[in-house]
Chains A and B, each alone.
Chain A
């Protein structure tokens, strides 16, 4: 089957099998910034935004993305780079495999909840697993990024 999916603002006509998941279809189309971690809908590495909502692309039927706006980390490159600077400053990035999905969830959080509490940050990011950092440094980076984002607006 074929479907038109708007990926990072550009409409792409993509072909795939009926049971293919969005992560596989995006990667096959060259969007390899979408990472596959657990491939069972648990680790959050494959997070993309569909019409602005964070979802697990490894468990999201590609057919369901027809006509929708899909955002990978490349589609929010400047914002993600700004967040990455905070990750770096806190020593919160090691292998980096989880970073694209993590950055997208943080960006979704910044858009959805104004001035979140520490508990809200932890709850919102609980679906993004990282096997390197132990989360504390990431949490500091997210907090500082959100404070800086809030101050800019």
Chain B
């Protein structure tokens, strides 16, 4: 990676201006830099913006964009509010050193289809705060194309809920072949299937099958699991066939709901 200039702003609005007016490229965790051959005229390091935090704002849980994965998995606050959900979603990503660098904002901004974190945030009904644009629903943010440069400031989560995560991969630290996440939030369930290998998507039919019962019956869980596999679109990639993903999907949805009910 060739970088012409590196700016290290300490102010969010200054960072946004560099990104928008100077066509700067935001650098979060920076883990992709090494694998990119595209020259970058101006890189904008977001490391000095004070965006490394997880806090209870009194209504929401706020997670700053530069918060590393490792902090998500070790946060006492997140464990208290969401159980093992975040530890399960990010704890298997490569290794500890990698997770000390990979950031929430980088993963959200990249809208990475393979990321367990994005599936988890979608299941929780998270919102994303974009500097200068306000708060957006994470589901819309994931699915809508964006033409203009943007800067992720933080992610907002509900104050706490039951949530479960399950995934499968070729090896422990490898990209996931399929992800399922389920959460009972705001009085109803949300079921998400990710790494299809497309971006994580909310499964409406599966969500309806689970309904608003905090403790759904085994039959309802089974229906939701089958519905998720029927409605999600799967595709082939070098790690798995679409057929395998479709077969595994109900198993993971069942596991994710079971985890949420623990």
Contacts and interface: CB of A to CB of B under 8 A. Distances in A.
Question: Looking at chain B's contact residues, is the secondary structure mostly helix, strand, loop, or mixed?
Answer: mixed
Given A39-B34, A55-B100, A61-B27, A19 B45 contact: no
Interface size class of B (residues with CB under 8 A): 20 to 34
B34 A18 contact: no
A19 B6 contact: yes
A127 interface: yes
A98 B6 CA distance: 31
Identify which of B2, B6, B172, B173 gathers the most chain A CB atoms within 10 Å of its CB: B6
B101 interface: yes
B43 interface: yes
Interface of A: 1, 17-19, 21, 39-42, 44, 47, 53-56, 58-61, 63-64, 105, 108, 123-128
A39 B5 CA distance: 22
A41 B40 CA distance: 19
Nearest to A50: B100
B98 A56 contact: yes
Interface stretch (B53-61, B89-97, B215-223, B234-242): B89-97
A87 to B, nearest CB: 19
Interface string B4-15: 111010000000
B28 to A, nearest CB: 11
A61 B6 contact: yes
Contacts of B30: 59-61, 64
A40 B35 contact: yes
B3 interface: yes
A59 B101 contact: yes
Given A58-B34, A61-B30, A123-B91, A19 B3 contact: yes
A63 B8 contact: yes
B47 interface: yes
A56 to B, nearest CB: 5
